[in-house]
Amino acid sequence: MQSKDFTPDIFHLSIPVVAMDIVIFTVYRDTLCVVLMPGLRENSVGKLVLPGGIIAHGESLDTSFDRILEAKTGITGIYKEQLATFGDADRDTRGHVISVVYYALVDTNMFLDKIDMTKTILLPLSEVTTETIAYDHAKIILYARQRLEWKMGYTTIIKNILPECFTLSQLQHVYEVVFGKTFDKRNFRKKILALGIIEETGIKNKSSSKRPAELYRFSDKDVKMLAGIV
Amino acid sequence: MQSKDFTPDIFHLSIPVVAMDIVIFTVYRDTLCVVLMPGLRENSVGKLVLPGGIIAHGESLDTSFDRILEAKTGITGIYKEQLATFGDADRDTRGHVISVVYYALVDTNMFLDKIDMTKTILLPLSEVTTETIAYDHAKIILYARQRLEWKMGYTTIIKNILPECFTLSQLQHVYEVVFGKTFDKRNFRKKILALGIIEETGIKNKSSSKRPAELYRFSDKDVKMLAGIV
DNA sequence: ACAAAAGTGTTAGCAATACACCCATGC
DNA sequence: GCATGGGTGTATTGCTAACACTTTTGT
């Protein structure tokens, strides 16, 4: 079931239509970015939109997410969390569309080969404005960004935006990009290591032309709650 | 527009139906309780359900909330926050119903006179189970309770479950009820007062037959973010 | 040998915790 | 005068934040 299966008349039934939009965050070239696509409808052309689609009858939210994500971006199997539901009657000029929004995190290296770069744009968060982005999607992205920052402060959610193995500097860098400030290297390492959430792999990163750094991984498969990472 | 305006055939359109359910928390007789109503449909009779209804075409989520809350409980103008959206296809046997859930807080004294006690039940959280509660509403209530606890730890959301003026003991008691543990009276007072979020009214509570306690109020009208209340 | 990122400890200040007694009132 | 909840201070411990130099590698 694709969203194109739905003819415009579903927007004029006696009940609202339910859609899903997805805010995909990734760190690309040292910048926090969101995955967007060019708007293709008369009310979004010339602007960017979030990947999204209509939720089909009988389809669970998880199933919708997988279907819409893959159909729109080619990406599969990434970490997601429900963000919120936006339902103002005038947010889409086609009719009353209530949108259930998820946000997702992905390591850039894991999806750059899967996506079609002719239909997909990685927009830095600093360029997210209502001028460039259609509907209420700019508002949604900024709300998702808040939630991301919040969650990064007290869970290990960051693991989903990093490769399996990473250096402490890479880890610190992602925190710095998301929080928009720098941290002291010694205090950062002390704190992260004291939390016991990551472990050494014993491997060293030889890809830099500088002193090789120890690679770490998260000990736990799942996202864990913690008091005060940052 | 009432939910009874919708005939069963809306459940068999080509798209899911959107509903709203409301989890109203209050502290009643020293216990955290949730507002429920007896189930009236064939698939909920004999159990309790959350107050809820169908979201109408063209109606914003805020408008739906106000309408459904008043229609079902008689309560108006209380603090609310969106919780999450639940959309499994089999959560309602009538058809595919996606429910946008809000949770709300209210001071018991403010609504005991408004509600119809023949149709409304204050159920202690300890009695929330799938045996007593229909659909997936028990799961929703427990999820809302988690969120409440979480939010009480780092915001002044608690003000919405208390009367305008309250004693420090009352305040501490609500924290203890929600967190399910006791706090040291001296440390609690020191911390709360150091946060600067409440102020003395100068009035003393003479209703108890013991030493009268100083009454306090929150200085700020809105819910404020804080680091670590509890 | 030099440029560039990796790695490493100590101290000082603040916040959280544990803990016990006197006070004001109604009955 | 006694039972009940209201109100108060200090000492210890653990966490947070500030701060600079040495090491390893590639070129």
Q: Is the CB of residue A143 less than 8 Å from the CB of residue A83?
A: yes
Verify if strand C has an atom below 7 Å from the CB of A206.
Answer: no
CA dist list (Å): B40 to A4, A136, B94, B103: 38, 38, 13, 22
Give me the DSSP letters along A103-156. Answer: EEE--HHHHTTTS-TTT-EEEEGGG--TTTB-TTHHHHHHHHHHHHHHHHHHBS
Residues 131 to 190 of B: which have CB under 8 A from any A CB? none
**Computed from CA positions of residues B24, B218, A84, B228, in that sequence, does the dihedral angle turn out positive or negative?**
negative
**Token digits of residue B97:** 């119903």
Q: Please say if the pLDDT value at position B210 is more than 90.
A: no
Chain A residue with minimum CA distance to B83? A84
Q: State the pairing for strand pair A17-28/A97-105.
A: parallel
Shortest-distance nucleotide from B210 CA to C1': C25
The conformational region for residue B77 under phi > 0 = left, psi -120 to 50 = alpha, else beta, is: left
pLDDT of residue B114: 87
Q: Which residue matches tokens 């926050």?
A: B81
Residues of A in contact with B58 (CB under 8 A): 16, 89, 96
User: What is the full per-residue pLDDT of chain A (230 aa) written as tens digits?
Assistant: 444 445 558 888 889 999 999 999 999 999 999 999 999 998 999 999 999 999 999 999 999 999 999 999 999 999 999 999 999 999 999 999 999 999 999 999 988 888 888 999 999 999 999 999 999 999 999 999 999 999 999 999 999 999 999 999 999 999 999 999 999 999 999 999 999 999 999 999 887 778 999 999 999 999 988 877 87
Query: For the whole model, what pTM was predicted?
Result: 0.93
